[in-house]
Amino acid sequence: MVQLLIQVDDRLAKELNRAVPAQSRKRSEFIRQAIRKALMALEDRRTAEKYRQAPQSGPDDSATAWLEWKPAPGKRRRRR
């Protein structure tokens, strides 16, 4: 596991202490979860931007495309 040393301003430190006290062992997990959430949000924004740049097109982009689906012809299996 990699350790990170970060500096935060006084206001952020106070807010963090209110949310998760420094003596709490949960503080590190709180910070890890905040980083994960921020990274996931960043990835979601990147993905959304890619779709805006190159939107999908074709029959699959229709909300009713599934109505046009038909099973492939073939042998029917009998139930036992």
Give, in degrees to the nearest 5, the angle at Cα 59 between 69 and 68: 20
Closest CA to 20 of 33, 12, 30: 30
| Number of helices (H), then strands (E), in the chain | 2, 0
Q: CB of 30 within 8 A of CB of 19?
A: yes
State pLDDT tens for residues 17-70: 999 988 877 898 999 999 999 999 999 999 999 988 887 766 555 666 667 777
What pTM was computed for the model? 0.60
Give, in degrees to the nearest 5, the angle at Cα 35 between 33 and 37: 70
Q: Can you give the residue ranges of every domain in the chain?
A: 25-52
For the segment 1-15, the average pLDDT, to the nearest whole number, is 94
